[in-house]
Structure 1
Amino acid sequence: MKTSNGRKLSHAALSLTVLGALLGAAPDSHALGTQGACQDNHIPVALAPGLPADQEVFARLCLPPGQTPATVQLLIHGITYSHLHWDFPDPTGHTQRYSYVSAALDAGFATLAMDRIGSGKSSHPPGATVSIDSNAYVVHQVVQALRAGQVAGPSGAVGFQKVVLVGHSYGSFTSWYEASDYRDVDGVILSGVSHTIQLTSPLRVLVPLYPAALDPAFFGQGYDLTYMTTQPGTRYGAFYAPGQADPAVVALDERTKGTVTDTEFSPFAVILARPLDIRVPVLLVNGAEDRIFCGPTLSGTVCSSAEALIAAEKPRLGAQVPCVEAFVLPGAGHDLNTILDAQQWFAVAQSWMTRRIGAGADQTPGCGP
């Protein structure tokens, strides 16, 4: 496993980093997670059982101050995003308002924000090999590495007793599969997803996409034509609308966009239809106005209320799911981390983590009062 040194950064230094991003430079990879210390990792993985571990996943482990917690939140981003989605800079106020990582560290949890296989700083194998199944198998290997103490922290390798998957959008799809197939996690937070989509959802996501090899941001980086990205100027309409977002955040999102492969996206209907078997506590979080995953019901949409979201989703998660809770963020669209109200759902997630999972080794994950 390869590592590079992370460092704690002051708010002044963070401001300089954000300024550099706004001027066109890439954000400093160590400029985030200021409440604790972070370490970058390149974790060897295989794309499927029986294949060699000849690929790498980039993942940043952040630890809160003091004793290392027993619980780590494994953060899994959606399509055309990267690990940055979980620790996004505030280009206007230079705060931590868009950082899920910071909220988790403040609550006493460790985080591992990874680039899914094929995304960001992770390996980019032939696009045809990057699918929902390879995504889930890669995450399974990362979970095992976290439990085995094979991921580097700022002061050396760190192991964790409890691992919780935290997904957004396609990262939630990946969490569905990983938790169902491998049953090696202690809880699952599913954001920006449901099984009840709007009829226009596939087009809403598909229309803005074009080959990444044609985009100036990816020229000469070896992406084959099955790797796609969003066309310039389309991210607000595709992922934010009608949520309230700082235009400077959307602009920075445009400049740090990532990719998705055709084989990840094309089986959209099959992914939704696949039976699940999740056997750990689940938290569901959606924006009330998500134009992709807030599909219609007889009385409104699945995002009309927390109760509506639970009623629609719990039967789809498997007969042995022990407990399901939900939160619907008013006024929010599909993206939740990079809107002005992001702190509301961050707080709900950390409260759920504290009640259901716990940061210490002395609390057993469960569904009690």
Structure 2
Amino acid sequence: MRPRRTLARIAITILVLSAGVTSASADTQVRCSETDVPVTYGLLLHGTVHGQLCVPPTTTNTVQLLVHGGTYNRYYWDIPYNNGSYSYQRDMAANGVATFAVDALGSGRSTQPLSELITGTTEASAMHQVIQALRAGAVGGSQFSRVVIVGHSMGSGVTVLEATGYHDVDGVVLTGMTHSMDLLALTGVFVDGVRPALLDPVLSQRSSDPGYVTTMPGTRQVFHNPGLVEPGVLAADETTKDQVAATVVPDLLTLAFESPLSRSINVPVLIANGASDGLFCAFVCASEDTLRAAESPYFTAPLEVHLTPQAGHAVALSTNAADHREAIRAWMDEHSF
């Protein structure tokens, strides 16, 4: 653990206790701001990646770049429910960790190209450009010398492609991902629960082309069951859901989720999943030992794993999400990020 971060956390704790308030009040010192990062994609087309930067009250040289999964957006990391009690970003910042949560191309407030122009490789290139901006101080005026990229689900696939294609990060966290997916269950999700976003009562307002898809209304529980989730979180998940280009699937599936490409990652890796994830961790999450044994052949870099009890695929939104966040912080401290 870095001494500076340790002292910062102690200082925050002393300030909170001396004021006679709960630890949640430390969130009032967290500073979050939104910004657009210019990127190029396709045949030198220009666009922007929108994101939210949350920084702690103390100075840090490390930032997590947060990459959401399919049909999500940056709100996966800052879900608007119960005064931010499930916010990954605000909790991390209150504990001394800066984060930048982005909307992938085609989602949220980022540029929405023709869906056929978006692939996993395209998204990985955009994340590489965001990482360059974070290191250069072009995001919120904060210059970060260390970048840890954190992905969820499809975002973890993008993370693998980014980390292996550019070797520009200091650490990799993969959530909602293994190389042992339940393809039958995932096929069921796409066949029975997904439709073009232009048919959705809310997302249709974006006038996206038919290649963008989203989940059917009232079906978000598929990303949580059989794990524990609060009804209010599930409702917020539905309210903030987004679209994803179906064209990201082919290269993400073959390169990131099925191949041993991840062996090219040359920095420490943490796989942090929900123990009840029946989609992307269906066959190897009976225990952390089982997960580690199954995933070790896919990595040459130092690998650690963590399973959050009674958490489904959307582990950061589970009832036990605090355990998930603390495990990631502990891993970062272990590697002096």
Q: Does 1:51 align with 2:44?
A: yes
How much has 1:267 moved relative to structure 2? 4.8
TM-score, normalised to structure 2, is: 0.87
Which of these residues, 267, 274, 277, is aligned with residue 287 of structure 1? 274
- Does 2:73 match 1:82? yes
Alignment map for 1:344-359 (pairs within 5 Å) = 344-358=323-337
Determine the C-alpha separation between the residues in 1 that align with 2:149 and 2:28.
22
Q: Is the 8 A contact 1:97 1:342 kept in 2?
A: no
| Aligned counterparts, 1:40-119, within 5 A | 40-48=34-42, 51-52=44-45, 54-66=46-58, 68-91=59-82, 94=83, 96-119=84-107
Partner of 1:304: 286
Q: Mapping of 1:264-343 within 5 angstroms?
A: 264-267=248-251, 269-271=253-255, 272-274=257-259, 275-276=261-262, 277-296=264-283, 302-317=284-299, 319=300, 321=301, 323-343=302-322
- List runs of 5+ in structure 2 lacking aligned partners: 1-26
- Residue 29 of structure 1: aligned partner: none
Tell me the secondary structure at the aligned position of residue 314 of structure 1. helix
- Contact 1:87 1:99 survives alignment (8 Å): yes
Counterparts of 2:303 and 2:116 in 1: how far apart (Å)? 35
Aligned ranges for residues 172-211 of structure 1 at < 5 Å?
172-206=156-190, 207-211=192-196
**Unaligned residue ranges in structure 1 (runs of 5+):** 1-32, 297-301, 359-369
Q: Distance in 2 between matches of 1:138 and 1:239?
A: 26
Q: What SS does structure 1 have at the residue aligned with 2:123?
A: helix
State the distance in 2 between where 1:355 and 1:286 align. Answer: 19
TM-score of the pair, normalised by structure 1? 0.80
CA distance in 2, matches of 1:185, 1:268: 19
Aligned equivalents of 1:171, 1:45: Cα separation in 2: 18
2:188 & 2:227 partners in 1: Cα distance? 16
CA deviation after TM superposition for structure 1 residue 268, in Å: 5.5
- 2:254 aligns to what SS in structure 1? helix
Post-superposition offset of 1:173: 0.5
Structure number having the greater helix percentage: 2
The aligned counterpart of 2:230 is 246
Instruction: Provide the aligned length of Structure 1 versus Structure 2.
Output: 307
Does the aligned pair in 1 maintain the 2:176–2:281 contact within 8 Å?
A: no
Q: RMSD of the TM alignment (CA)?
A: 1.6
Please list the CA deviations of residues 308-366 of structure 1 after superposition, one character each: whole Å capped at 9, or x if unmatched.
Answer: 1121112213x3x1x111111122110111121110111111111122133xxxxxxxx
Partner of 1:140: 128
Question: Which whole-Å deviations, capped at 9, do the CAs of 1:236-294 have from their partners, x for residues lacking one?
Answer: 0x201011111121112111110111101345641323322100001111111211112
**Secondary structure at 1:224's aligned position in 2?**
coil
C-alpha contact (below 8 Å) 2:197/2:208 kept by paired residues: yes
- Aligned partner of 2:69: which letter? G
